[in-house]
Structure 1
Amino acid sequence: MKSIYKPFFIGFFCAILTIIQAYIAMGEYAKELSSGCIDCSFNEVLIKHAIVLIFIPIVIMQLVSTFIFKKQYFISILIGAFLIFVWLKIINTDIFETRVSSWSSFSNEDTDSFVFKRSFQPISICIIIYIIFILILDKYIKKPQNSLG
């Protein structure tokens, strides 16, 4: 497998992890109406979030880390894990705000606290799976060979 495809595999894998963790953390609100889009289904919103908030930034981050953090492999994995944590928390917060808190009287602190409690375990598991996936993927990706040796 060529290393040029690595960011796309990672992005696709992260999009799948996004959907799974959102169902685990916020799935009980899937049947609730969204204040942002009354006609949008939970699945539709989740797929959009997975593509926009995970797939594109992860691909960009992986391309940049290939050139900036070549020698600091561990740092690029940590940056990726941190970005995934932040993005998944944003996704879960958006789901909670549009489907629950916008219809009632939650303060910003209550929303953040509730979402963090509900999201911490699924997001942590996804980050561990992400790191394992990266390590396995790197084992099977062929490094480009230069003509000098």
Structure 2
Amino acid sequence: MKNITKNSIVSFLKRILLVALVVFVATFLQFYWSMGKLSDRISSSCLECWFVEDAFKMSLITAVFLLIIFKFISSINKVLKVITQFLLLISVWFFWDYTIFVERESSWSTYLFNEELYYVATFSTMPILVLSFVTIFVINSEKIIKNDKVL
């Protein structure tokens, strides 16, 4: 009985770490793909912070936050779960992209709110859609959930 419990705990922890790692890497890649053009600009909130530091911190926060949220919604209908995960992921990524744009570009200039949203949507739409589909597919793949040998 202890062996089954130990195996199930190890499997559960592997699953959680895999989901967190996938979300972290996808978030980091998304930042560079969508907002990488601003990587050489100075942040208005932290003059010494590099783009890599900001992307790393935001990716870590996103991975932990979404892992908790995804765990809470894991028991709902699979289709509804996937749709909810997708909407949460794109919402969080768009928010972070907007934050990066404001800190590294628009705070140093005179952008209107509508212009900020337009530029963020222009830079972020393709990266967010592509990486969110890949991320949601990977974290909901049945082979990863059922078969520990795939890990």
**TM-score tier after normalising by the smaller chain length:** 0.7 to 0.9
Larger RCO (alpha carbons 8 Å, 6+ apart): 1
Determine if the alignment matches structure 1 residue 11 to structure 2 residue 20.
Answer: yes
Determine if the alignment matches structure 1 residue 128 to structure 2 residue 137.
Answer: no
Q: Matched residues, percent identical?
A: 22
Aligned residues: 138
Determine if the alignment matches structure 1 residue 115 to structure 2 residue 120.
Answer: yes
Q: Distance in 1 between matches of 2:124 and 2:65?
A: 20
Q: Distance in 2 between matches of 1:8 and 1:57?
A: 13
The answer as to whether partners of 1:22 and 1:92 remain within 8 angstroms in 2 is yes
Cα distance, 1:107 vs. partner?
0.8
Structure 1 gap segments, 5+ residues each: 144-149
**TM-score, with length taken from structure 1:** 0.85
Determine if the alignment matches structure 1 residue 75 to structure 2 residue 91.
Answer: no
Q: Distance in 2 between matches of 1:109 and 1:6?
A: 40
The answer as to whether partners of 1:3 and 1:141 remain within 8 angstroms in 2 is no
1:60 aligns with 68
Determine if the alignment matches structure 1 residue 49 to structure 2 residue 58.
Answer: yes
Residue type at the aligned position of 2:15: K
Determine if the alignment matches structure 1 residue 105 to structure 2 residue 110.
Answer: yes
Q: Distance in 2 between matches of 1:112 and 1:77?
A: 26
Determine if the alignment matches structure 1 residue 35 to structure 2 residue 35.
Answer: no
Q: Distance in 2 between matches of 1:33 and 1:83?
A: 29
Moved over 4 A (4+): none
